[in-house]
Amino acid sequence: MTLASSHAELKHDATPSTQHAAAPFTENQKELLFPDEEKARFTNFLLEDNKEEGGERHPGAVAMQGIKNKAGRPFVSDSLDDDINEPNRKTDMDENELVPSLVVTAELVQPDEEQASSLFAPGGNIWEKKVQEEVETRLQNLTVAEVVTKDEQSGMKRRKMMFCLLFTLIVVVSCIVAGVVVAGRDDSSSMQQERGSSPQDEFENMGQKQERLWNELKSQLNRTNSDVDFKPFEEPSSPQSLALEWLLNDTITLTENSVTQKVLDRYALAVLYFSTDGPNWINSSSFLTEDDICTWNTGVPTSQEELDNWWKIGVYCQGNDEGLQLALNQGGVTGTLPWELSLLSNFVSLQANTNALVGTIPPELALMNSLQELILCNNSLTGTIPTSLGQLTELQWLNVGQNMLTGTIPTELGLLTKLQSLDVYFNTLTGTVPPELGNLSTLRLLGLYNSSLTGTFPTQLTSLTSVEYLYVDSNMLTGTLPTELGHLTALIEFHSYNNFLTGTIVTQMGRWTDLQQLVVFNNFLTGTLPTELGELIDLQLLYVDRNKLTGPLPTELGRMTVLQELSVYNNSLTGTLPTELGQLINLQYLDVDNNKLIGPLPTELGRLTDLVVLFMVNNFLTGTLPTEMDQMVSLENLVLSNNLFTGTVPSMLADNLGSNFSFDGNNFTNGK
């Protein structure tokens, strides 16, 4: 037997060229011209002028000299035997400062007579090679534009003089322009502040900005103050690494001067995307674009046609007051939920039901202090329900049902005083129903079914005077139903079936005047059906089967004129079928199998024109079938086996039923 309705749900630089700089040297002096981009690089190789006490340089040394730096220090070797291989000497020159000269001279310091004879003697080209060797050592990473001999120096000197005159003119003009710029500096500074940029930002290159943003982001990701927090970034394919790579190339991120909340939001959503196989969501085309995150969604339909083909996926921002919502329901989402979701600001709703999520529920979600909805049902989540969720004091909807969660229901959930709906159904939980849940004074739905819970029905739950839907079915609850249940006057549905409950169906249930479903089958309840149930005039489902009830069916049941399903089978009910059952004109399902009912069928049953199923097997019913049963035009399944009926089966009734009936074990004369 299957219930007609299910449990309710509340809605709601390029590297420069590295040609060898040295050309063959056949003279004892050469001058090398460098392109503009090399002159700054060359200044980094300038060494102090190391002279003897008399002010003369060591004979035989190779002198390589460019325009001096601020300290007036040329590039000069120390001695004949020096390899000039000390590039680490400081020059006191800023590495970005450009020198105005493009010329460097390499020459052999004047030797003494003995050395000179060797220098120019046959085979004296060893000294020439020395000059070439030293220049090659020093300038091997500089690009040489031109090599000229000493004979060409005179023309070069004239060009130097012209260059110096031109340079002087440029300096004078620059000073005039600088005065004008300084005069307008205050105005330009204020304009830069309005634009949110600074001169430093203008000169900050991409790599520097990325490194700075990453260093700032680290402080937000350091949860445990240990290296463990950054382990994911050691794996290039981790969701965190992929998200960081995307973030540091994201246009909107790079327009920010620091790691703002906007940047954190984008990073957190990027981690979610890569953690849950975003490319294979049902619709993820709007995610990780260079637009505001509020556009990362499938939009809102504007017509019925669009609504028929629309699936709500993505980030929705309903304004500052309503906050950010993330909708991933039935979105083909797999993988795990990342803790980085807790970095989102003003995050009010996370809906990801009916997906293939695995792993645990991140306890860090408790940091989302503005969260109002957390819907994770119908997934494959494991682990326990985090006790930290008790910190979500704004939470109104919590559904972690139909997962593979274990452990107990945290007592801390009793702190969620704004909670309206709590669902933990279809998990493998242990322990009892926490009495602290009785503190949830605004609760409207409590779904604890199919969760392997033990213990008794807590009387504290009878304090939930606002609860409308209370499901504790399919557990291992014992004990009796407390009479205080009568306080729950707002109840619409009450399910406690498939437990080990004893005692009676309390008469106080008659106060549930708004009740539509009363389902308590398959327990060990005793006593009679309370006549007070007749007060439940809005009741649609009444299932009390598979208990140990005795006594007659109350005639007051006839007042339930909107009742659609009535099942009392497998009890020990006695007496006759009340004629008042004929007043249940909306009844579609009636099952009184396996009781001890006697007497004839009331002719008033013929009024049940909406009845589809009628089961009366294994009773002691007698008499003939009323001809009025021919009026039961909706009847599709009639089973009257193992009673004491006599006479004939109404012909029209038999024709309408076809083969969907069973009258075996009776005394009908027409063989039916």
3-class SS at 63? strand
pLDDT tens digits, 485-525: 999 999 999 999 999 999 999 999 999 999 999 999 999 99
Whole-model pTM: value is 0.71
In whole angstroms, what is the distance from residue 4 CA to residue 21 CA?
Answer: 91
DSSP one-letter string for 525-556: -EEPPPGGGGG-TT--EEE--SSEEEEPPPGG
Give the confidence band of 305 by pLDDT, cuts at 50, 70, 90: low
Per-residue pLDDT band at 307 (split at 50, 70, 90): low
86, pLDDT greater than 50 = no
Measured distance CA(81)–CA(273) in Å, rounded: 65
φ, ψ for residue 647 (rounded to 5)?
Answer: 80, -155
Tell me how crowded residue 473 is: count the other CB atoms within 10 A of its CB.
24
Q: What is the mean pLDDT of the chain?
A: 78
Rank 175-189, 206-220, 274-288 by mean pLDDT and report only the highest: 274-288
Under a CB-based contact definition with an 8 Å cutoff, are residues 446 and 416 in contact? no
Q: Which pLDDT score is estimated for 128? A: 53
**Residue 312 and residue 292: Cα distance in Å, rounded?**
18
pLDDT of residue 220: 87
CB–CB of 637/613 below 8 Å?
yes
**Dihedral sign of CA atoms 380, 384, 386, 387 in order:** positive
**Separation between Cα atoms, residue 95 and residue 176, nearest integer Å:** 26
Q: What is the mean pLDDT of residues 380-406?
A: 97
The residue ranking higher by pLDDT, 140 or 372, is 372
> For residue range 126-178, what is the model confidence (pLDDT) as tens digits?
545 555 555 555 554 444 434 444 444 455 555 555 555 555 556 555 555 45
Res. 459: pLDDT tops 70: yes
Kindly report the length of the chain: 672
> Is a pLDDT exceeding 70 seen at residue 53?
no
Q: Which domains does the chain have, with CATH numbers?
A: 29-172 (no CATH), 209-272 (no CATH), 576-672 (3.80.10.10)
Lowest mean pLDDT among 37-46, 151-160, 316-325, 617-626: 37-46
Amino acid at 212: R
